A and B are shown apart, each in its own frame.
Chain A
Amino acid sequence: QSALTQPPSASGSPGQSVTISCTGTSSDVGAYNYVSWYQQHPGKAPTLMIYEVNKRPSGVPDRFSGSKSGNTASLTVSGLQAEDEADYYCSSHAGSSKFVFGTGTKVTVL
């Protein structure tokens, strides 16, 4: 199973929106609605931000939203805030309870 493809970086000014893509194949992202997104600040463990493509766990601001079309999933962060600056990783079910992560995107708040 190959890592899902994400852009290395993305940026936006405070208050703006940024969208991160996550491209897989018809065997992972395209096959299942089990796409999740994680935020990771330096030196910290990842935190779940989105699961099942577009659902937010309790406590995650509604500024974070997810979607999927075909083999590509997306995470949008609206109303960017300084604390949103972090690395973001997508993940997808890849069949038989296996999972694969994305290559990661560093989001910078300008």
Chain B
Amino acid sequence: QVQLQESGPGLVKPSETLSLTCTVSGASINTNYWTWIRQPPGKGLDWIGYIYDTVNIDSNPSLKSRVTMSLDTSKNQFSLNLISVTAADTAVYYCARRGLPGGFDYWGQGSLVIVSS
């Protein structure tokens, strides 16, 4: 059974970098599109971006200048870095697998990140 688990700091100061890691079990990180999605408190879902391998990476145009993503195949993990955060980046961050055509079939439980001094 495929499982995803987000990990990282729950509190980040404004202007600093938000860093999250998603650990995958039950599937190889070398296949499928691995995705980050966020949800501000009380609001809807926002697609952040995906990573397929070290070359195929893309992100939401609204976040592109601040987002980097990477894979660690030795640990079966993928990561998200979001630089220069503001309060508007406060959200529950989900990692997910796009394992079906256009469908995110497995999700992590979500990690709440609050941006505050």
Contacts and interface: CB of A to CB of B under 8 A. Distances in A.
Interface in B37-52: 37, 44-47, 50
B100 A101 contact: no
Given A1-B61, A45-B110, A101 B44 contact: yes
Nearest to A87: B44
A38 B45 contact: yes
B15 interface: no
A34 B103 CA distance: 8
Contacts of B33: 97
B23 to A, nearest CB: 15
A10 B24 CA distance: 36
A46 interface: yes
A99 B101 CA distance: 12
Contact of B44 (A47, A48, A104): A104
Interface residues of B, number: 24
A34 B47 contact: no
Contacts of A1: 60-62
B102 A36 contact: yes
A51 B106 CA distance: 13
B46 A101 contact: yes
Interface of A: 1, 3, 32-36, 38, 45-48, 50-52, 55, 57, 89, 91-93, 96-104
Closest 6 CB pairs of A and B: A34-B102, A51-B103, A45-B107, A101-B45, A104-B44, A36-B103
